[in-house]
């Protein structure tokens, strides 16, 4: 079963939130049959479609103001058997990054509802920023690799190159891995996604613009880590996330 678009109104508006009711589809699962349009879409998916499938691929990309590597992701799952099968499925995409993402804003997400029904659920983040031909080619290779692993199609798994790198890694990230702007100002990124950082390495520089005498502030890696995501150079208020770090998954 292929659903090219789950929320056409939000896609047309280039927004996470449905213009008609202001709701984010990926925060209202499992939805309500008699709710607003976004809640009804979630309900139809949860109650009608999900019971018909064994495995779900949620194919999308990260935000337009972020750089992010092509990744197959999952949140931590309490059931160790489902967790192992989910990580195995994610790694079968053979993308540059497989990511176990622990964060605190998961209430109402599609994957929780699918996992509550015992389904293997892999969410892909096919890069941030713009969606271009290069990223789409990696996207296609990843989905083909996953379908080959499931024996739904025949072929040999491909290992797509991302920015000159062919390496593969499985990382985990937690809320404490977020780096935030220490003051309001323009963030100058000084690292790229998947860069390996040692403690004290420069992630970026925050340039205050509300005072002519304020000094620029270095933002440094608090420990050995890999750069998971870095925000685009732009003005940020204080205490906003400007980079996400990650570490190799302890199995």
Closer of 35 and 129 to a copy of itself (Cβ): 129
Closer of 8 and 175 to a copy of itself (Cβ): 8
Answer for the pair 209, 197: CB distance below 8 angstroms, yes or no. no
What angle do helix axes 80-92 and 133-149 make, rounded to 10 degrees?
Answer: 130
CB of 227 to a copy of itself, least distance (A): 10
Residues lying near a copy of itself in the complex (CB under 8 A) are found at 4-5, 8, 11-12, 14, 64-67, 128-134, 136, 164, 184, 186, 188-192, 207, 209-210, 230-235
Cα–Cα distance, 111 to 107 (Å, whole number):
10
CB of 106 to a copy of itself, least distance (A): 25
SS3 184: coil
Show the tokens assigned to 222. Answer: 């608090």
Closer of 104 and 130 to a copy of itself (Cβ): 130
> Any alpha helices (H) in the chain, and if so which ranges?
8-13, 37-44, 80-92, 110-116, 133-149
CB of 43 to a copy of itself, least distance (A): 21
Other CB atoms within 10 Å distance of the CB of residue 146: 24
CB of 64 to a copy of itself, least distance (A): 6
Answer for the pair 177, 228: CB distance below 8 angstroms, yes or no. yes
Closer of 78 and 133 to a copy of itself (Cβ): 133
Cα dihedral sign for 227, 231, 233, 239?
negative
Closer of 14 and 34 to a copy of itself (Cβ): 14
Closer of 61 and 115 to a copy of itself (Cβ): 61
Cα dihedral sign for 25, 179, 249, 126?
positive
CB of 190 to a copy of itself, least distance (A): 5
Closer of 35 and 63 to a copy of itself (Cβ): 63
CB of 195 to a copy of itself, least distance (A): 8
Phi, psi of 187 (to 5 degrees): -90, 125
Residue 198 CB partners (closer than 8 Å, separation 6+):
221, 224
Tell me how far apart the terminal alpha carbons of the chain are, to the nearest angstrom: 33
């Amino acid at each position: 079963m292929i659903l090219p678009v789950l929320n056409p109104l939000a896609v047309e508006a280039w927004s996470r939130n449905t213009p008609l009711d202001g709701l984010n589809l990926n925060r209202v699962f499992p939805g309500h049959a008699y709710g607003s349009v976004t809640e009804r879409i979630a309900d139809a998916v949860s109650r009608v479609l999900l019971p018909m499938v064994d495995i779900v691929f949620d194919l999308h990309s990260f935000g337009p103001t972020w750089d992010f590597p092509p990744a197959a992701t999952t949140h931590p799952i309490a059931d160790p058997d489902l967790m192992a099968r989910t990580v195995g499925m994610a790694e079968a995409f053979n993308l540059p990054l497989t990511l176990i993402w622990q964060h605190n804003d998961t209430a109402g997400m599609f994957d929780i509802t699918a996992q509550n029904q015992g389904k293997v659920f892999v969410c892909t983040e096919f890069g941030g920023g713009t969606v271009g031909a290069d990223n789409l080619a990696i996207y296609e290779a990843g989905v083909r690799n996953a379908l080959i692993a499931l024996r739904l199609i025949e072929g040999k798994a491909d290992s797509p190159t991302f920015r000159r790198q062919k390496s593969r890694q499985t990382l985990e990230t937690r809320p404490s891995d977020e780096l935030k702007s220490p003051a309001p100002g323009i963030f100058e990124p000084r690292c790229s996604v998947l860069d390996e950082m040692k403690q004290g390495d420069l992630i970026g520089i925050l340039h205050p613009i509300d005072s002519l005498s304020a000094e620029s502030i270095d933002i440094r890696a608090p420990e050995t880590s890999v750069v998971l995501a870095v925000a685009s150079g732009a003005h940020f208020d204080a205490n906003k996330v400007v980079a996400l770090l990650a570490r190799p998954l302890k199995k």
